[in-house]
Amino acid sequence: MLDNILILGNGPSFTKIDYSLLPQHFKVMRCNTFYFEDKYYAGKSVDYYLFYARGIDEMYFNLRAVHSKGEYDVDLINGCYATVMFEPNKHFPTVKMATQLIQQNPAIAEFRSFYEYYYEQYVPTGLQCIALAAVLGYKNIFLAGFDMFADPDVPMHPFENDKISQEVHKQIMDRHPLQVQADFIALLQKEFSSQRFYSVSRESTLNRYVDLAPKSSSGIVQLPIEKKAERTLCLLPIPELCKKENRSFA
C-alpha cells in the first residue's frame, strides 16, 4: 500500500491549508482548472490530475501549456485520468479512465448509478479524486478545497471575482446535493476502512464528515508557496478542429 497523498479540490479552503498537519513526504493530486491558483499551495509537482471529461479539450491544452512553460511539473504520461465514460483515444492516448477504475468497487458503482439514473445527481470531480486515491491504494489521504458548494455567499473558486447567483447555486446543488456528497464520503470511509481520510484545512465544510489530521510529528512541511508570476488562460489554437471532428465524451 502506498503511503501519503494530498488532494486539493478547487474550493476556497485549499488556500487555507494547515501545513503543520501534513507529513514530510506525499504525492499530490489536483483536478480541473487548478492552475488558476495565485500561489503554489501544494508546490509545483503534480503526480496525478483528474479531468472532467466533457471539458478535456480545453483543460488538457492548458495543462500541457503550464507544464511546458515550467509553471508546474505534471506527470502527463502516467498521472492523468478523466471522469465520466471517457476512453483513451488517438487525441489523449495517455489519459486513463478513472470511472472504470473507481467503479471496480461494486458499492461505488451502485451508488453512482442509482443517483445518476433516478435523480440526475452526480458525484463532483473532486470527490472522485478521493475515490481514485483510495482505489490506487494510498494509506493516508489528506484533503483541502472540498467545500461541497455549501455556502452560496462564497465563490466556488477562490479567484472568481463574483459570488455565484442564488439561481446558479441552486442548479449546482440540484446536481451535487450536499447529502449525496456526504453519503459518498461515508461510503468511501466504509469501503476503504483500512485507509485514513483527513482534512488539512480548519475552515471547510468537509470537516463535518472527515476528521482533522493530527499534527505531524515530523515538523511543518516546507513547500515553495510562492506567488505565481501570472495566471493566463491558454486558448485552443484551432478550436474549430474539435467541432469539425464532432468529438464527444458521453
pLDDT band at 250 (very low <50, low <70, confident <90, very high): very low
Mean pLDDT (the chain, rounded): 85
Number of neighbouring beta carbons within 10 Å of residue 157: 18
Written out in words, the top-level CATH class of the domain with range 2-245 is alpha beta
pLDDT band at 123 (very low <50, low <70, confident <90, very high): very high
Higher pLDDT, 159 or 58: 58
pLDDT band at 230 (very low <50, low <70, confident <90, very high): low
**Residue 160 pLDDT exceeds 60:** no
Q: How far is CA 67 from the centre of its chain?
A: 18
Classify burial at 217, counting beta carbons within 10 Å of its beta carbon; exposed 0-12, middle 13-18, buried 19 or more.
exposed
Distance, in Å, from the CA atom of 187 to the CA atom of 207, rounded to the nearest integer, reads 16
| 12-59 confidence digits (pLDDT tens) | 899 999 999 999 999 999 999 899 888 999 999 999 999 988 888 888
Number of neighbouring beta carbons within 10 Å of residue 189: 17
In the chain, pLDDT over 90 holds for what percent of residues? 58
Give the helix ranges, DSSP H, for 120-194.
125-136, 166-175, 178-191
| 179-209 confidence digits (pLDDT tens) | 999 999 999 999 999 999 999 999 999 999 9
Classify burial at 227, counting beta carbons within 10 Å of its beta carbon; exposed 0-12, middle 13-18, buried 19 or more.
exposed
| pLDDT at res. 247 | 47
By the 8 A CB rule, do 248 and 44 touch?
A: no
User: Average pLDDT of 142-146?
Assistant: 96
Amino acid at 237: P
User: Average pLDDT of 107-113?
Assistant: 97
Q: Cell numbers of 215, please? A: 499534527
Angle at 74 between CA 69 and CA 77, to 5 degrees: 115
Where along the chain do its domains lie?
2-245
Please report, for residues 82, 106, 119, the alpha-carbon distance to residue 111 in angstroms, rounded to integers and kept in the order given. 19, 9, 12
| 234-243 confidence digits (pLDDT tens) | 554 545 555 4
Its pTM stands at: 0.88
Distance, in Å, from the CA atom of 145 to the CA atom of 135, rounded to the nearest integer, reads 20
